[in-house]
Structure 1
Amino acid sequence: MNTAPSVFGAVHLGYIVIESNRFADWRRFGTDAIGMHHDAVDSHLMRFRLDDQECRFLVRRGPAEDVVATGWHIDDHAGFEEIEARIRAHGVPVVEGTAEEAALRGVERLLRFPGPKGITQEIYTTPRIASEPLRMLASGWVTGDSGMGHIAITSTKPTQLRGYFGTVFDARLSDYIDEAISGVKLKVRFLRVNERHHSIAIAAVRGLPIDPVRTRVQHLNIQAASLDDLARSYDRVHELGFDMALSVGQHTNDKELSYYARTPSGFEWEVGWNPLVIDEATWQPSTHQGISIWGHTPVGRTIIDKLDQFRLGGLSLARREDTVPSLSGAGTPDD
């Protein structure tokens, strides 16, 4: 019998670390297209803000062109210590970040440990509040108790990934989506760690152990404060010549209105508005057919793009996917 206290509700997606050599493109994408606040740290580091916290996205120079770490804000020291104890109890190494690393992320202290697909997981309790006012094109972004948005991951081992986030953060299943794209059947699991419908989405090809996405994350999501903010950023993405992945549409499960742009590093960036907030007293998981009620039409996809996805899927057969087995549990029967 598990008597450990639950940390559900005390965990919030706090920041993302991205590695890229395309700094000029990332600055234009983040500030001029999406509309975030930008701070240049030095020639090898830049940060974006969404609110009064010093850092929500840290972009560092490097070849990955991908997300390399996710930072999770834990409400209090009791929850922080509980998560640390769980990880150590499973024999997984925990490393304390340096003072410089913490400062770059805008937090007082952080711990890091291995995560699925090579994405380092980091936890912290106290974010630093910026002294400079926001300078951005958007009127604001929704963060707070819901965290700053969500991450979506494609996986050949979705049961293990769900087990990982259940073990570490007491993540709960919100629902499933079944979707068929170009004849390929996908099942997507949506996991929540607080009132946000999902902070983690895990997509898998049904019946085939392939991963058609090059990057560790398929997309990131941030939530616009207003419909006007979403519409204006959509126009700016087009006007500035950045690729649009999916047009504006509305999701079946969380009812969020959103679009998907393609980042300079290749993964997608979803800007959403007005998703539902889960009521723990009444919510029951269910399965939805298709990701969208309407819209979310692929933009500019050619047969070459589709063939490239099949090529990447084939290559993934020879690639080992790290799931951090000691933290991944046994999954659940409905997986």
Structure 2
Amino acid sequence: MSVFGHVALGYLVVETERFADWRRFGRDAIGMHLDDLDTDALRFRLDEQQCRFLLRCGPAEDVTTLGWQVDDHGTFEEILARVHRCGVPVTVGTDEEAALRGVGRLVRIPGPNGLAQELYTRAQIDGQLAVAGKGFVTGEFGLGHVAVTSTKPHQVRGYYNALLDARLSDFIDETISGVKVKIRFLRVNRRHHSVAIAAVNRLPINPVRTRVQHLNIQVAELDDLTDSYQRVRALGFDMALGIGQHTNDRELSFYAVTPSGFEWEVGWNPLVVDESTWRPTTHQGISIWGHEMRRNADKLEQFATAVKSLLRREDTIPALAGAGILD
């Protein structure tokens, strides 16, 4: 049984102690709906689904969990069977955890680089919604995507293939700060990618402190993109990359720096994959135009960030990753 096309990225969990800054960033700059739950948790919403981003109080300043929405119980059981066959532990979510995420059935599986993967089948709906502009694009393809860096990209790709039947969309070869990087783009449905893996396998350490280098959400209209860009700048949040257009999925976007330090991409109008004709290719560079770097970091800061990444062991969950996939 194929899982592909029956799952979508549903929510992310972030651990942070900077709630005041996140309220300004998420609601006032990005334009999402804010629900304050208690002193230790808040949620942002993009649509009627009760939770798209859950913020819990803690010191990590990082994304800790990806939540995957599964279409039906048959697909849910197929994924669990794969995990059980590999001997990987599964944790059943508590009623409190499910309520915070606004979901029904909930299980948790260990994921690469300490990024837990949660599966759920039903999302609770709330019709009261206050978002900026015309809102955000989610639906059957999920909320957007995440990008991670890894010194073991083949194993990370193998993990998502084993778990979700992820398909390779394409590659990008890029040089960043003098370092050659190959990025693999994986899709689990017709959204061009839900996970991007930047390969830093020629480096001895991972240069990114956080588990997720950036996450992406999609706005409904071009005006929503430019308005959000202006709000981010007006409110004084750092901009990592200015507005530009990507080479592979043709999305227009910009990258802001979140209060926790990872980047937040706001995009508009990416292409949707036609499964009957799509063939993976390699693109040179991430951008057709724009995406000028706005975030400056000196060599000492870059070294300090890389050293912090050593505190987090890069476990790829070998039982699920297998021998990896050779490109």
Q: Who is 1:282 aligned against?
A: 277
> Could you tell me how far apart the structure 2 residues matched to 1:140 and 1:300 are?
27
Report if aligned partners of 2:136, 2:218 keep a CA contact under 8 Å in 1: yes
Quote the Cα distance in structure 2 between the aligned partners of 1:315 and 1:44.
25
The correspondence of residues 101-180 of structure 1 with structure 2, limited to 5 A, is 101-130=97-126, 132-180=127-175
Contact map agreement 1:204 1:211 (CA 8 A) in 2: no
Matched residue count: 327
Shift of 1:315: 5.7
Q: How does 1:52-131 map to 2 (within 5 A)?
A: 52-130=48-126
1:280 is paired with a residue of what secondary structure?
coil
Q: Is the 8 A contact 2:46 2:52 kept in 1?
A: yes
Q: Which runs of 5+ in 1 are unaligned?
A: none
CA distance in 2, matches of 1:315, 1:57: 25
Q: Which amino acid aligns with 2:102?
A: G
Q: Name the SS of the counterpart of 1:333 in structure 2.
A: coil
Distance apart, 1:307 and its partner CA: 3.6
Cα distance between partner residues in 2 of 1:99 and 1:320? 30
Asked if structure 1 preserves the Cα contact closer than 8 Å seen for 2:40 and 2:57, the reply is yes
Partner of 1:15: 11
Other structure's SS at 2:212 match: coil
Distance 1:151 1:86 in 2: 23
Q: Give the TM-score normalised by structure 1.
A: 0.95
Shift of 1:276: 0.3
- Equivalent residue number for residue 201 of structure 1: 196
CA deviations 1:31-71 (Å, max 9, x no partner) are: 00000000000011100110011110000100000001110
Output the aligned Cα RMSD: 1.3
Q: Which runs of 5+ in 2 are unaligned?
A: none
Identity within the alignment, %: 67
- Whether contact under 8 Å (1:155, 1:203) holds in the other structure is yes
Report SS of the residue matched to 1:297. Answer: coil
Q: CA deviation at 1:301?
A: 1.1
Q: Distance in 2 between matches of 1:10 and 1:259?
A: 29
**Per the alignment, in what secondary structure is the counterpart of residue 288 of structure 2?**
strand
Whether contact under 8 Å (1:258, 1:270) holds in the other structure is yes
CA contact (8 A) 2:14 2:53 kept: yes
Amino acid at match of 2:55: V
Please say if 1:332 is aligned against 2:305.
Answer: no
Greater alpha carbon shift after TM alignment, 151-160 vs 136-145 = 136-145
Go from structure 1 to structure 2 and tell me whether the alpha carbon gap of 1:317 and 1:24 turns closer, same or farther (over 3 Å shift): closer
Give the CA deviation at 1:333: 2.7
TM-score w.r.t. the length of structure 2 is 0.97
Q: Is the 8 A contact 1:48 1:56 kept in 2?
A: yes
Counterpart contact for 1:170–1:193, Cα < 8 Å: yes
Residues 249-328 of structure 1 aligned to structure 2 (within 5 Å) = 249-302=244-297, 304=298, 306-313=299-306, 316=309, 320-328=313-321
- CA distance in 1 between counterparts of 2:117 and 2:312 reads 21
Which whole-Å deviations, capped at 9, do the CAs of 1:292-329 have from their partners, x for residues lacking one? 00001111414x2x442244335646753111110112
Please say which of residues 220-229 and 306-315 is displaced more in the overlay: 306-315
1 CA distance for matches of 2:67 and 2:326? Answer: 30
1:137 offset after TM fit, Å? 1.7
Instruction: Provide the residue aligned with 1:26 in structure 2.
Output: 22
Q: Which amino acid aligns with 2:85?
A: A
> Is the CA contact (8 Å cut-off) linking 1:191 and 1:197 kept in structure 2?
yes
